[in-house]
């Protein structure tokens, strides 16, 4: 089926539902029924449907790109964060004590805080520069209202950061790391921007300008961690339904990668109980079912 026709069909068939993330006040005001879908093929062409050009808060989708930037330097970050699914909510504290301040994986909040700390001061600006280049959209920026709103309600993330600091697993002051992390989560991008920016993972590490961010193994590893950990305590269900590496955020965005073919981004702010977009997962389920494109 032709891709433009396919994305239009999926947009027409999904029923957005669920509730917006209420714990970040600026996100609680967004219409839970909004929907956008974009598929970027390896040559950079984008096929979109719905509100695929409307910017939204990327939130935890940013964690894929900070991990990729850290791994582009070397593998050192793996001494500070694991790569096992947590089976726990994204903002859970419980495993940090039994695992001596080493988060289970880089895609739960604790792990992402460590990756941001690992990138060091200016992490969010580095991320922003990378996302502008990869998406081809120099207008991408941080939504200051979302950042301020989240920072004002970040007791849980502060607790995670300070707890890890107590085990010596932060290099920078805990509150500085949380501020940087909140800025990174508050970046606004559209589905089209994110689909293009994710293409390096479909191209086995090669960026849109033909240079390499990651080696073939590096890209494989980021995709593997997305598959096993990208949707938190619903990663098993996501693999079962979608069969692709994917990463969600509480802004309602989900990115997914079909290695060797395309990158996908879907956005719908209504979330399920685990913080994953209801219509986003549904759309990806339909996409892989209709195309037969999955990693299995």
Q: What residues act catalytically?
A: 60, 63, 181, 232, 250
Tell me: does residue 109 bind ligand GLN (CB under 6 A): yes
Tell me: does residue 88 bind ligand GLN (CB under 6 A): no
List the Cα angle 67/192/143 in 5-degree steps: 65
By rule CB under 6 A, what string of x and - marks binding of each residue 64-83 to ligand GLN?
Answer: --------------------
- Cβ of residue 203: shortest distance to ligand GLN, in angstroms? 25
Q: Which of 48, 50, 56, 60 binds ligand GLN (CB under 6 A)?
A: 60
Tell me: does residue 249 bind ligand GLN (CB under 6 A): yes
Tell me: does residue 111 bind ligand GLN (CB under 6 A): no
- The string of DSSP codes covering 221-269 is HHHHHHHHHTTGGGHHHHHHHT-S-EEE-TTSEEEEEETTTEEEEEE--
Residue with token string 């990756």: 115
Tell me: does residue 157 bind ligand GLN (CB under 6 A): yes
Cα distance from N-terminal residue to C-terminal residue, the chain: 20
Radius of gyration of the chain, Cα coordinates, nearest whole angstrom: 17
d(CA 294, CA 47): 18
Structure tokens at 34: 């909004």
Tell me if residue 171 falls in helix, strand or coil: coil
Tell me: does residue 91 bind ligand GLN (CB under 6 A): yes
Q: Which of 71, 151, 185, 264 binds ligand GLN (CB under 6 A)?
A: 185
- Alpha carbon separation from 228 to 86, 104, 105, 177, 235 (Å, rounded): 9, 11, 10, 25, 6
Toward ligand GLN, which CB reaches closer, 49 or 234?
A: 234
Name the binding residues for substrate.
60, 109, 150, 157, 181, 232, 250
Tell me: does residue 191 bind ligand GLN (CB under 6 A): no
Give me the residues that bind ligand GLN (CB under 6 A), please.
Answer: 59-60, 90-91, 109, 150, 157, 185, 249-250, 275
């Amino acid at each position: 089926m032709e891709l433009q026709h396919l994305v239009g069909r999926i947009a027409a068939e999904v029923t957005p539902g669920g509730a917006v993330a209420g714990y970040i006040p600026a996100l609680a005001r967004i219409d839970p029924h909004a929907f956008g879908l974009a598929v970027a093929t390896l040559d950079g062409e984008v096929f979109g449907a719905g509100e695929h050009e409307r910017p939204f808060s990327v939130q935890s989708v940013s964690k894929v790109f900070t991990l990729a930037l850290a791994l582009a330097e070397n593998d050192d970050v793996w001494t500070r964060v694991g790569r096992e699914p947590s089976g726990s909510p994204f903002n859970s504290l419980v495993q940090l004590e039994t695992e001596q301040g080493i988060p289970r994986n880089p895609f739960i909040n604790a792990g992402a805080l460590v990756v941001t700390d690992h990138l060091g001061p200016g992490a969010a600006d580095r991320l922003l520069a990378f996302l502008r280049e990869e998406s081809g959209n120099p207008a991408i920026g941080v939504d200051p209202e979302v950042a301020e709103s989240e920072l004002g309600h970040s007791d849980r993330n502060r607790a995670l950061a300070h707890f890890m600091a107590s085990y010596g697993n932060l290099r920078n002051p805990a509150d500085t790391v949380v501020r940087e992390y909140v800025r990174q989560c508050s970046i606004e991008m559209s589905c089209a921007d994110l689909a293009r920016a994710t293409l390096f993972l479909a191209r086995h590490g090669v960026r849109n300008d033909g240079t390499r961010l990651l080696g073939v193994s590096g890209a494989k590893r980021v995709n593997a961690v997305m598959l096993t950990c990208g949707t938190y305590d619903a990663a098993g269900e996501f693999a079962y339904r979608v069969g692709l590496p994917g990463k969600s955020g509480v802004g309602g965005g989900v990115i997914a990668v079909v290695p060797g073919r395309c990158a996908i981004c879907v956005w719908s702010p209504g979330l399920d109980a685990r913080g994953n977009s209801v219509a986003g997962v549904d759309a990806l389920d339909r996409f892989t079912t209709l195309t037969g494109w999955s990693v299995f």
